[in-house]
Amino acid sequence: MADAGQAADDPTVREGARRYEGAELAVSYEVARCVHAAECVRGLPTVFDVGRRPWITPDGATAAEVAEVVERCPSGALQYHWPGHPERTGGPARLVLHQDGVLHARGDFAVATPHGERRETRAMLCACGHTAHSPFC
């Protein structure tokens, strides 16, 4: 289990997330945030396979390949921790409001949650108020 110091700089240590350990990096998955865009399973089926248990095997590809595919996850449901290789933020926060009431956020930003503030690089935030996972869609 991670200690408080590790949790501060490890995005995979989060309330409600399941962590999958690999030799070089760890990947976490928060089912409540997933919007099933399938970027992971299309991008790296050797690592992300919903028909297998565990469905995430970080050692199924290089750490760099896994990190690149995790960064495609639009909701931020997937995160990785690779010591010495922080996630690329893509610069300042960018927000795009879609007609379906989803606010897509990318970049470096903080989100206030019921569990406290946390740093994010990708998220799909609820703009309609009808989510059970506030502030996430």
pLDDT at position 77, please?
A: 95
φ, ψ at 66 (rounded to 5°): -65, -45
**Are 77 and 102 in the same domain?**
no
Among 39, 61, 81, which residue terminates a domain? Answer: 81
**Are 74 and 99 in the same domain?**
no
pLDDT digits (tens, 9 = 90+) for 92-104: 889 998 878 888 8
φ, ψ at 85 (rounded to 5°): -135, 75
Domain enclosing residue 112, as ranges: 89-137
Find out whether 121 and 76 touch, Cβ atoms under 8 Å: yes
**Are 73 and 116 in the same domain?**
no
Find out whether 118 and 13 touch, Cβ atoms under 8 Å: no
**Are 96 and 74 in the same domain?**
no
State yes or no: pLDDT of 113 exceeds 70: yes
**Are 104 and 70 in the same domain?**
no
Among 63, 81, 99, which residue terminates a domain? Answer: 81
Structural tokens at position 62 = 């290089």
Please enumerate in sequence order all residues whose Cβ is within 8 A of that of 26, keeping only pairs 6 or more positions apart, or say none.
Answer: 10, 12, 19, 20, 58, 80, 81, 82
pLDDT at position 53, please?
A: 97
> pTM score, two decimals?
0.80
pLDDT digits (tens, 9 = 90+) for 63-73: 999 999 999 99
Number of domains making up the chain: 2
pLDDT at position 67, please?
A: 96
CATH of residue 25's domain is: 3.30.70.20
Flag whether 10 is in a domain: no
**Are 69 and 30 in the same domain?**
yes
Structural tokens at position 21 = 């350990």
